[in-house]
Structure 1
Amino acid sequence: MKTVRQRQWFFIYLHSFLVGSLVESSSLSSTTLSVTSKVGNQAVLPCSWKQRLREVPPAACHVQWMTPDDTVFELQGVQKWQAEEFEGRVEVPEGKLQSGDCSLIISDVQIGDMGIYESFMVVDGVRSTKTRVFIQSVKLSVFDHKSLQSRVPGEDLVLDLHTRHSVRVVFQGRNNSEWSDLWVKGDENSQRLEKDKLKEQVKIMKLKSSDEGTYKVLDGHGLAVSTVQLLVNEGSTALKLYQTLDNQVPADGAAKSSCSALLILSVLVTSFQILLHLL
C-alpha cells in the first residue's frame, strides 16, 4: 500500500506532467505565424525556404502554397498556377523566390481568405523522385472595416466599398429591426444615391434624420466588408465624428486563448482538490 508521502510525490509528478504538457502544446502552436488584414487590403504571408533548405538551384525553385482543402498557388520557373477563387490576387515574386523569400502576397484580401496556409518547396529526391519539404504555416485573419460617423442634415455620406467584390449595401434604421437593400451592383444612379464610376464608393446625398442607422457593405457571399454607424445631428454646430475601430482580436483566436486558460485553471483546481484529499 502506498504511503501518504508516496501519494504526495505521485501527485506532484502528475501535476507537473499535465501542466508541462499544456505549456508544450501551447509552444508548438506558436510555430504557426499570425497575419492580420482588412478586406480589400494586401496581406503578405511570410516564408523563407533557407530556414529549411541550404540551397536550391534557381532553375529548380518550385514553391507551393496550400490550405487544408486545396492548393492556392504554385510556381515553378515560368509556370504558374492559381486557384480559381484567388485568380489574379496571389503572387510569389520570382526574383525573391530564388534568393530564399517564398512569401505569398495576397491582394484584395477577402473575408473568405481566412484560414491556415502552408508553404512547401518541391525538391529532387532519391531516384529522380520529387519531395515536398514543409517550410512555414501561417494563419491569416481578415476583418471587415468598422466606423462611427456623424453628419448634419443636407450633407453627403460616402461609403467606401473597399473591394471590387462588394455587391450590396444594406441599411437598418435606428428604430428598425429590418434590413433593406440600398444599393445592388449594376443599379443605376438615383436622385440621392450615386456610384462613383472610377472609385469603389457609393455616395448618399442630402442626408435626412431618417438616414440615421447602420450601413453594411456585403460581398457576393453575404459577408460584411464594412459596417458604418451613422448619426445625423440636427444642430448645425454638431461635432464631426469619424472613428475607425482598430486593434481587433480574431474571434477564433480569442476563443482558443480563453479555452486554454480555462483548461489550465481546471487542472490546477482539480490538482488542489486531490492534494487536500491526500492530506
Structure 2
Amino acid sequence: MDILQKRLWSFVFLQGILIGNLVDSSALPSTANPVPVMTLVGSQVVLPCSWKDSQKEMAESGCHIQWMSPPYTVFEQLGEDKWQAAEYEGRVEVPLEKLNSGDCSLIIKDVQIGDTGRYESFIVVDGVRSQKSRVFIQSVKLSVTDHKSRKDLYPGDDLVLELYTPHSFAVVFQSRDSSEWVNLWKRGDENNERMEKHHQLEQLTIKNLQYSDEGIYKVLDEGDLSVSTMQLYITEKSPSSRIQEKQEQILTDAAATSSCSALLLSVLLSCYQILLLH
C-alpha cells in the first residue's frame, strides 16, 4: 500500500471515529513557540504534551488526541482505537494509561533523519451543535542528527562499525587518497572473510585492517540520508609500544609458567606425603 492509499485510509479512519462530524480546527496561537527537542538517529524520543493544560475535564468516552506534522497526521488515538502514518508504522505511541491521566506525549522509537520537523498536538472535544472541535495543545520542533565519531586503530585490528538502527541500509567508504565513495556493504549481503554483520546486533565488523582502510565510513538509510559518519585513522605502532607489548607478553608467559610449576610441585608434595603415610 503506497503513501497516497495510507493517507486515504487516514481520512476514512478519522471520519469513522468522529462519527461523521466535521472537525473544527482551532487556529494556532500567534505566540505558540515550538518546544525544541534534539536527538540522534536510532534513539527514542518523547515529544512533550499535556492536555490538562488545555482541557480541565474529559468525556467518559475517553481522550481523543491527534499529532500532526503539518499538513499530515502522524498519530491519532481515541480510547483503544489508534492510527499511525505509514512512515511511522510501529514506531509511535501515546501510552493509554498516561493519556487518560493527562499526559499526551508522543513517543517516537528508532528515530530517523526523515522525522526531523515540526509536530503539533491537538485534543478533539465536543463542540456546539454536536460538532467536534479541535483544540491546539503543543508545538514541538524535532531535530534529528547523525552520529559522528573518530577511531584510531592499528594494522591487523578489527573495526566494529555501529549501524545504530535496522533502517540502516548501506555503508560507503572514501579512502584518504580518493574523493570517490565506494559501496562497501548493503543490508542483505552475505558475510565474507573481511566483513561480517552481527546476526543480532546492528554492528558490522571489518576484519584485519590495512593502511588502505584508512578514511571516512558513512552509514546510510534507504533514502541515502546519513545515519553516521566515522573517520578512521590507521596508526603504526611505535617502537616503545611494541617493546611494551613484548614485555607484557613475557610477563604473561612467565606467570603462566610459574603457575604450572607451582601446581606440579604441589602434586609432587602430595604424592610424597602419601608414600610416607604408607
Q: Same fold (TM over 0.5)?
A: yes
Aligned equivalents of 2:111 and 2:81: distance in 1?
24
Structure 2 residue matching 1:50: 3-state secondary structure: helix
Counting only pairs closer than 5 Å after superposition, residues 5-24 of structure 1 correspond to structure 2 as: none
- Return 5+ residue gaps in structure 2 as ranges: 1-29, 243-278
2:188 corresponds to 1:193:
no
The answer for the alignment partner of 2:125 in structure 1 is: 123
Task: Give the letter for the 1:34 counterpart.
Answer: P
Aligned equivalents of 2:60 and 2:195: distance in 1?
54
- Return 5+ residue gaps in structure 1 as ranges: 1-26, 239-279
The 8 Å contact of residues 67 and 121 in structure 2, kept in 1 or not, is answered as yes
The answer for the alignment partner of 1:95 in structure 2 is: 97
Render the CA deviation track for 1:8-41: whole Å, top value 9, x for unaligned: xxxxxxxxxxxxxxxxxxx946x21010110000
Aligned equivalents of 2:232 and 2:51: distance in 1?
48
Of 137, 147, 158, the residue aligned with 1:145 is 147
Task: Give the letter for the 1:56 counterpart.
Answer: M
Moved more, 87-96 or 229-238: 229-238
The answer for the alignment partner of 1:229 in structure 2 is: 231
TM-score, normalized by length of structure 2? 0.74
Aligned equivalents of 1:184 and 1:177: distance in 2?
21
Render the CA deviation track for 1:91-143: whole Å, top value 9, x for unaligned: 00011011110000000000000000000000001111111000000000001
2:183 corresponds to 1:219:
no
The answer for the alignment partner of 1:275 in structure 2 is: none
Aligned equivalents of 2:41 and 2:72: distance in 1?
21
The 8 Å contact of residues 45 and 105 in structure 1, kept in 2 or not, is answered as yes
The answer for the alignment partner of 2:167 in structure 1 is: 165
Task: Give the letter for the 2:183 counterpart.
Answer: D
Aligned equivalents of 1:159 and 1:55: distance in 2?
51
Structure number, greater radius of gyration: 2
Aligned equivalents of 1:79 and 1:199: distance in 2?
33
The answer for the alignment partner of 1:35 in structure 2 is: 37
Aligned equivalents of 1:98 and 1:60: distance in 2?
7
2:123 corresponds to 1:82:
no
| Root-mean-square deviation (Å) | 1.4
The answer for the alignment partner of 1:205 in structure 2 is: 207
Aligned equivalents of 2:50 and 2:114: distance in 1?
25
**Count of aligned pairs:** 211
Structure 1 residue matching 2:61: 3-state secondary structure: helix
Structure 2 residue matching 1:60: 3-state secondary structure: coil
Aligned equivalents of 2:217 and 2:211: distance in 1?
14
> What is the CA distance between 1:206 and its match in structure 2?
0.4
The answer for the alignment partner of 1:55 in structure 2 is: 57
The answer for the alignment partner of 1:10 in structure 2 is: none
The 8 Å contact of residues 58 and 98 in structure 1, kept in 2 or not, is answered as no
Render the CA deviation track for 1:133-165: whole Å, top value 9, x for unaligned: 000000000010000110000000011110000
Aligned equivalents of 2:204 and 2:60: distance in 1?
47
The answer for the alignment partner of 2:183 in structure 1 is: 181
Render the CA deviation track for 1:70-93: whole Å, top value 9, x for unaligned: 100000011000000100000000
Task: Give the letter for the 2:154 counterpart.
Answer: V
The 8 Å contact of residues 91 and 105 in structure 1, kept in 2 or not, is answered as yes
The 8 Å contact of residues 62 and 100 in structure 2, kept in 1 or not, is answered as no
